[in-house]
Amino acid sequence: MDQLKKDFNNEILRIIGNRTKDGYCAFCGEQLSENEYCDCPQAEKLNKYFKKTSKFIANINDRLVLSTSLKDARKALKATSNTPKLFDGVSFDDYKVECDSEKNAKATVLNYFDNAIQNYIYGKNLVLIGNSGTGKTMLQTILCNSLISRWLFSCKFINAVDLKGEITKCFNAKSDKTVDEIVNRYKKADFLFLDDIDKLAPTEFVKEFIYSLVNYRIVNQLPIITSANHTLEELDSKFYNEVIVSRLINNSPVIVFSHQNRRFEQ
């Protein structure tokens, strides 16, 4: 467990550096009391990232206090992540690459995983576009499970259709949950996996809750991994609007799965 925190701290150092040096601000040299954040312009630019990462380490500590071992902490996070059972135990090695499109897809997702801490700090998204049966859900599941195993990130995996189902259930008089409670669960996870965003009929209601979810996460720099069968242009014109789509793809890799459905091949 200590190794995990050590690795995480090394990644933070590599990505954003130190904010203090021997009790002084690393940027302007001002003396700082314990837990004090300097307000000089250079420190101010990075303070939100330092705060985000120290909160994450505090969360890891909490998770490890609640669990008796790293294995238990992983299990607890896996249980609440809701990844598709179909791909339980599947790893990057199981994603077969036989053409350039598959090679590129796997390499891009692996690269996203290798830079997980950086992607978490800056809220970098990942978009997977392509026909059904090309392995988008499988790769997302592998990534989700790997983020939990390696770094104890809290991840939520949800198919957009199921998310809408969960939300509409709240309108039932018997429901003990509110729409806000449901949406908050997905707003606050370290990484959100939103599968099949274009399987929803784009009603005003759907657009509104997708916008609220995406916007919250973008503003708070929390990564979203999304998948869709339609092209970005089609998502823009038929499903959502430029605001949502441009937020999802801003500064983020977009993987196009151009190979054919191989779900039924044996």
Minimum CB distance to Zn ion smaller for 34 or for 176: 34
- Residue 20 binds to Zn ion (criterion: CB under 5 A): no
User: Would you say 12 or 116 has its CB closer to Zn ion?
Assistant: 12
Q: How far is the CB of 14 from Zn ion (least distance, A)?
A: 21
Measured CA to CA in angstroms, residue 210 lies from 41, 168, 202, 226, 253 at distances of 35, 13, 10, 12, 20
Instruction: Please report how close the Cβ of residue 16 comes to Zn ion at its closest, in angstroms.
Output: 14
Q: Does residue number 18 form part of the binding site for Zn ion (CB under 5 A)?
A: no
Out of 28, 66, 201, 219, the only residue in the binding site for Zn ion (CB under 5 A) is 28
- By CB under 5 A, name the one of 12, 25, 116, 182 that touches Zn ion: 25
Question: What string marks each residue from 32 to 61 as x (binds Zn ion by CB under 5 A) or -?
Answer: ------x-x--x------------------
Q: Check residue 17 for interaction with Zn ion (CB under 5 A).
A: no
In the complex with Zn ion, which residue's Cβ is closer, 1 or 26?
26
* Rounded least distance, CB 28 to Zn ion, Å: 3
Nearer to Zn ion, 43 or 117 (CB): 43
**24 part of the interface to Zn ion, by CB under 5 A:** no
CB 10 to Zn ion: min, Å: 23
Within a 10 A sphere around the Cβ of 102, how many other Cβ atoms? 19
Nearest to 136 by CA among 235, 52, 228: 228
31 binds Zn ion (CB under 5 A): no
* Minimum CB distance to Zn ion smaller for 39 or for 114: 39
Q: Is 200 in the site for Zn ion (CB under 5 A)?
A: no
Interface residue list for Zn ion (CB under 5 A): 25, 27-28, 30, 38, 40, 43
